[in-house]
Structure 1
């Protein structure tokens, strides 16, 4: 009887764990061969777009805004987003504008800003006082002088002291003006941003632990829901911060959805995009529903179909992620590493149900890693330009895709 009971318990345990474990292995790409060729396209590289983590299409100007590194090598020693913490940080990235018609990138000159700028997530928001200008929020992963300047640094002192930079840009001008730096103790492991206004922004802390085995455990165990989203309210020189959302696994990229109040949140390692909204009369966020994908996903975007009709609307969500995220544990600090990419597109089909299509699957031949992708309308319905970039890619790439 005891043996039968034990076998029954094992059977229940296996049945309970099989689904979540199988799902996690799929998302991490364990079943995918590293050298297999997937959904390929002819493509072109966009010059001077190194390691642009996050892309944002600005509909009014028709331009894509991003933050990139100015050289490839530094990220493999200092980049807190991958737990590369061999500092101090010395590299200076830059803000770029990509013209999707010419596929050329313009590096904007800094005004009133110098020093290290280690880029990751950004967001843009229109200037409410000027129709021809916008604000740019950008993560900056600085090193912590309390650690690196100490003769014998304590292991209790964080190596990174990340903050947010706020810039102002007049459309068509060759520069960005630095408005201020934003630091608060609740900004711990910032990944991405969602700007509501020039004075209100949400920030994801993608990990509770910054490095080591505990961080790896946090990545791999879905129950480790320790990341959070904080809200920052700027009031003159002061910064008011509150915790807006907890309980998600590895919340990562943020994006603007199909309506002004829809906030997209991605669980990177969980392969899940959540649609959320602000709680009424509060800075807190609440999750409305979710979409699951068969790879990691990073920074989400929404494509608004300009050719949409009542019965035919190609508007949808675009997700970029890693083809075999399981490999990142040994490629994250390797300049010669190879990380494949996957890009997904989710829209409502003619039946009204949500349908997901794999737009791109690459083994690292076209691009090393994918962390952001945006669709730009083509010249005819059902056709669009897809621009993809990655946190360790040497350049962003562009290709024409069929949305049907």
Structure 2
């Protein structure tokens, strides 16, 4: 009896929110995108529950003082940007994990940190954030992406879960400087639960929106009664005018029917989107001259729950962080400060084979290094990993 009542409740509340959500969804989809629930049998997870360890013999976790780093980005020169937080803040307030006790955060506003890691010297630099004059805003880190421009200046597009609503905050970093400058925030009705972002130019980006509800009873029901295939990928373009940096934004949905659209990456003219719950990577082509619309190419089953996905600057392949033991991962996520709960970590490599895109295991450990590893990539013979609940950077020789 509970499940039908849950359906009725979801329908009623989603209908109430229709003006904000359905009105932004292509009319050809109608309400179907909102009430599409997938079967457990459509999930591609659990394949690596008991898989052997792989490439984890020569590893270390270092620079734990940076905090827990949900995402990082490897630059063309091999240096690595990391977005890191303090667990004392995250355990009270982190909307992606449905934690909204902002009033209990010890020091407000929340100022998560950017770090720059140099592998040539195994050293880090904290990049101070210079917020806009007169701004006393939060930076609550999640996914981010770096656009390396022709003049050498780097634009950082960062998901920012501010206490008054999530945005994409755009920062600027000049290599050699010890700070990043906050330029402006990009907001839109479709950016209400953003997870990851990837730039398509200095004033445009794709993003993933992983949940339909941010908090409250409906978020609880969404998590417990799913999986629901109403997560999506959107694209935004924005214009900045005047000295005040007023931002006008146009966003639209480009792909839909994900259970949990999480990581997103671009390689050549392909866009890769991983679905955390379904355990697949969807491959698209995109057309910048056609409003960045996406054309579906292929779905690649990975065999495990997924998180961030990145292009390796060395191999050119995609690397996606995986959770081989789903239930253990969920238990750890619900107990963020219980560091004794160790969860196996894994990464997979997505590559172009003779018959299309394929996937293979790249890394596996028993949780001794980074438990709940949300991010992974390889560069110059090194495997790197980090996590939303664990301090430091994992470095392995492979």
- Which band: TM-score by shorter chain? 0.7 to 0.9
Supply the distance in 1 between the matched residues of 2:274 and 2:302 (Cα, whole angstroms).
Answer: 11
**Residue 379 of structure 2 is aligned with which of 370, 376, 380?**
376
**1:255-266 aligned within 5 A:** 255-257=265-267, 259=268, 261-266=269-274
Supply the distance in 1 between the matched residues of 2:148 and 2:384 (Cα, whole angstroms).
Answer: 22
Supply the distance in 1 between the matched residues of 2:102 and 2:329 (Cα, whole angstroms).
Answer: 20
Q: CA deviation at 1:297?
A: 1.3
Q: CA deviation at 1:197?
A: 1.2
Pair 321,214 (structure 1): closer, same or farther in 2 beyond 3 Å: farther
DSSP 3-state at the match of 1:92 = coil
Query: Is 1:248–2:258 an aligned residue pair?
Result: yes
**1:36-51 aligned within 5 A:** 38-39=53-54, 40-47=56-63, 48-51=65-68
Query: Is 1:301–2:317 an aligned residue pair?
Result: no
Pair 100,223 (structure 1): closer, same or farther in 2 beyond 3 Å: same
TM-score by length of 2: 0.78
Query: Is 1:142–2:146 an aligned residue pair?
Result: no
**1:151-300 aligned within 5 A:** 161-211=165-215, 215=219, 218=222, 224-236=228-240, 237=246, 238-257=248-267, 259=268, 261-279=269-287, 280-300=289-309
Supply the distance in 2 between the matched residues of 1:267 and 1:220 (Cα, whole angstroms).
Answer: 17
Query: Is 1:72–2:87 an aligned residue pair?
Result: yes
Task: Determine if contact 2:60/2:369 at 8 Å carries over to the other structure.
Answer: no
Deviations 1:154-198 (A, max 9, x none): xxxxxxx11111111101211111111222222110100010112
Deviations 1:217-243 (A, max 9, x none): 655777621112222211122122222
Supply the distance in 2 between the matched residues of 1:52 and 1:185 (Cα, whole angstroms).
Answer: 27
Q: CA deviation at 1:295?
A: 1.1
Q: CA deviation at 1:46?
A: 2.9
DSSP 3-state at the match of 1:290 = strand
**Which residue of structure 2 lines up, in the alignment, with residue 27 of structure 1?**
45
Pair 252,393 (structure 1): closer, same or farther in 2 beyond 3 Å: same
**Residue 52 of structure 1 is aligned with which of 69, 82, 91?**
69
Structure holding more strand per residue? 2
**Which residue of structure 2 lines up, in the alignment, with residue 103 of structure 1?**
122
Q: CA deviation at 1:96?
A: 1.5
Task: Determine if contact 2:300/2:359 at 8 Å carries over to the other structure.
Answer: no
Supply the distance in 1 between the matched residues of 2:344 and 2:171 (Cα, whole angstroms).
Answer: 32
Supply the distance in 2 between the matched residues of 1:344 and 1:357 (Cα, whole angstroms).
Answer: 6
What is the aligned length? 342
Task: Determine if contact 1:46/1:104 at 8 Å carries over to the other structure.
Answer: no
Task: Determine if contact 1:256/1:263 at 8 Å carries over to the other structure.
Answer: yes
Supply the distance in 2 between the matched residues of 1:179 and 1:304 (Cα, whole angstroms).
Answer: 27
Mark the runs of 5 or more structure 1 residues left unpaired by the alignment: 1-18, 145-160, 306-313, 378-383
**Residue 359 of structure 1 is aligned with which of 356, 359, 362?**
362
**Which residue of structure 2 lines up, in the alignment, with residue 122 of structure 1?**
144
Q: CA deviation at 1:287?
A: 2.2
DSSP 3-state at the match of 2:68 = coil
Task: Determine if contact 1:222/1:270 at 8 Å carries over to the other structure.
Answer: no
Supply the distance in 2 between the matched residues of 1:218 and 1:175 (Cα, whole angstroms).
Answer: 39
Deviations 1:21-59 (A, max 9, x none): 4663x6257x837xx973332212230332211222111
Supply the distance in 1 between the matched residues of 2:216 and 2:155 (Cα, whole angstroms).
Answer: 36
Question: Alignment RMSD, CA only?
Answer: 2.7
Q: CA deviation at 1:86?
A: 2.0
Pair 185,277 (structure 1): closer, same or farther in 2 beyond 3 Å: same
**Which residue of structure 2 lines up, in the alignment, with residue 389 of structure 1?**
386
Deviates more, 1:40-49 or 1:387-396: 40-49
**Which residue of structure 1 lines up, in the alignment, with residue 13 of structure 2?**
none
Supply the distance in 1 between the matched residues of 2:358 and 2:284 (Cα, whole angstroms).
Answer: 20
Q: CA deviation at 1:374?
A: 1.3
Q: CA deviation at 1:372?
A: 1.3
Q: CA deviation at 1:317?
A: 1.8
Q: CA deviation at 1:304?
A: 4.7
Mark the runs of 5 or more structure 2 residues left unpaired by the alignment: 1-37, 241-245
Supply the distance in 1 between the matched residues of 2:376 and 2:388 (Cα, whole angstroms).
Answer: 12
